[in-house]
Structure 1
Amino acid sequence: MTQIISALSDVSHDYDALFVDLWGCVHDGVQAIPSAVAALQEYRANGGTVILLTNAPRSRHEVARQIERFGVPDDAWDDIATSGDSARAAMFTGAVGRKVWFMGQDHDLPFFEPLKLVTDPVAIERVELEEAEGIVCCGPFDPHADPADNRPQFLLAKQRGLKLLCANPDIVVDRGEAREWCAGALAQLYTEMGGESLYFGKPHPPVYDLARRRLADHVGHVADGSILAIGDGPQTDVLGAMGEGIDSLFITGGLARQETGTQTDPDPDALERYLAAEGVAPTFSIGRLR
């Protein structure tokens, strides 16, 4: 059974580092969440290290610029690990071929910029689907459209045996009060249709390996038992932490605020029913990061 806590400081003294999800935890897609910023600032002031671990299909430098615009200050975090960087590393080593069909929006195009993590990278060329050796998916062309609209293209891709590289395993995200589809919804559809999808963000291991490398750059090796993962996604943040042997703090007031009956705090009975249905067991739960 998960333990409901009232503040990060209730348990943070037991952990040397945090792997913290961004969207729904530190910001809402529009602006920073003040209580979360204050909690992370306090944690760092007491000697802890904060790695922002996000399924954003972009580089850590782009994410840093984005959260600055949202009002997340530099003293609330130490480094950033993104599913985008993890997926880019795979793309530049040829995971889905040299000629790729790109799914996403114009703001996702920096995904194709050079990456220092990879030496001797494959030269990637963006082409039409009919010419492609693989698919690079940063997200839908229209985040409000039904993912099923892509079935005709996916049928052709499956028939041609193309692999889909998913740069963001999230299914949905809330931008303010509006819910949007993410790349994970497309990858899920492609897999259901019989195609092969490759994942690099939470809950899959590659992005956690990157997060540990980012953490080691600052403080050296930190044992998994001394890391707390924080996030609002049961099938990404919590499931990923469970798979990595890391304790987790589930933010119930994010994606699951209605299902968990969260206003200030989650309803204990609703929370237990929700976690049982999701098949996950976070170590701790809290309404909002504070």
Structure 2
Amino acid sequence: MEPTYVGGLVELADAYDAFVIDQWGVIHDGTRLYPGAIRVFRLLREIGKPVVILTNSRKRTDINITRLSCLGLTRDLYDGLISSAELLRNLLVARSASPWKALGDRVFVVGLPDDLALLDGTRYRPVPNVESCDFVLLLSTANGATAGAHDGWLRKAAARCLPLVTSSAELLTVNEVGVFTGLAGLVRRYRRYGGTVITVGKPHSEVYRECDMLLAGLDNTRILAIGDQFESDVVGAKQHGYHAAMVLTGAASVTFQGVADRRSIAAAIAGLGEPGVSCDFVLPSLQWSPAPGSR
């Protein structure tokens, strides 16, 4: 089913009781807020609509809140922010159920240098290679790095039957430099090698249950999730009972590059679907009103 094209969120505001909005690629590009984004938050606040920001960021919640404040989106304009990295850390620390309680303490971290801060204050000890670890923690890769560049440790870890844990398995990642290949390729390759993957973050249910706690008492069918990637934002939302909208900024600007007219974009989004999962709406960006002359 093709999504309905809407020029601005004003056309949907009355139909929903709350909004769950992705961060990177929807609210900002890492260096600045997208035009119109802050107006959306202010007007949703004025009409009493709760807003939760749901992000597959590799950073903890407080770091994401600080980043948004520095960009101009202050904490008073939304009801909460859920970071998949924060949820992952909480699950690692609690170790209250499978598969978390079965993990050892030695971890091989695949990420950038500042990613190690996620483990500060925990029992987990980073080690330099997969030969000496109990599990792999996949958080990020260098911009543009392909799955093939990581094939060595992927094969070794799979041969040792090590769990691979990640807070994001998106096809594309948006950062302050641009749009790059996400971690999905590494995750798929690891599974192809016979490895076990433990994923936290969209599209998986744990992060949406966190949203439910912030939006307690609301009917899921009256909640609209907005994102820029079908496989994570739309699939996750629809599987949880939310309605879903895609914006054409961020990762979507690459996915649909060269697709010019609205009908073609709607058809392309419909073509991404899988049985029982479809996107409800498509917007040009996170904006309140249609651009002048767009109708």
TM norm. shorter chain > 0.5: yes
Deviation, 1:186, is 2.4
Look up the match of 1:10: 11
Match of 1:239 among 230, 235, 241: 235
Q: Which residue of 2 aligns with 1:289?
A: 286
Structure 2 residue 115 is matched with structure 1 residue 108? yes
Letter in 1 for 2:266: L
Q: Is the 8 A contact 2:179 2:250 kept in 1?
A: no
> Are the counterparts in 2 of residues 171 and 185 from structure 1 also a CA contact under 8 Å?
yes
For 2:72 and 2:183, the matched residues in 1 are separated by 26
Q: 2:106 aligns with which of 82, 99, 117?
A: 99
Higher RCO (CA < 8 A, seq sep 6+): 2
Q: CA deviation at 1:76?
A: 3.0
Write the letter of the residue equivalent to 2:118: F
Partner of 1:48: 49
Structure 2 partner of 1:157 = 157
TM-score of the superposed pair, with normalisation by structure 2: 0.86
Aligned match of 2:263: 268
Q: How many residues align?
A: 277
For the residues of structure 2 that align with 1:176 and 1:82, how far apart are their CA atoms? 18
Deviations 1:34-71 (A, max 9, x none): 31111121011110111100000221111111222233
Q: Does 1:252 align with 2:248?
A: yes
Mapped to 2, the partners of 1:80 and 1:266 lie a distance apart of 34
Let me know the Cα RMSD of the aligned residues: 2.1
- Secondary structure of 1:169's counterpart equals coil
TM-score by length of 1: 0.88
Question: Residues 211 and 253 (structure 1 numbering): CA distance in 2 closer, same or farther, change over 3 Å?
Answer: same
**What is residue 168 of structure 1 aligned with on the other side?**
168
Structure 1: any 5+ residue segments left out of the alignment? 115-121
Q: Deviations over 1:187-230 (max 9, x none)?
A: 222122221111111001011112222x14xxx42221221101
Shift of residue 155 of structure 1?
Answer: 0.8
Counterpart residue type for residue 90 of structure 1: L
Q: Identity rate of aligned residues, in percent? A: 22
Structure 2 unpaired stretches of 5+: 288-295
Amino acid at match of 2:195: G
Q: Once the 2 structures are TM-superposed, how far is the Cα of residue 89 of structure 1 from its aligned partner?
A: 2.2
5 Å-filtered alignment, 1:55-134, equals: 55-92=56-93, 93=95, 94=100, 96-114=103-121, 123-128=123-128, 129-134=130-135
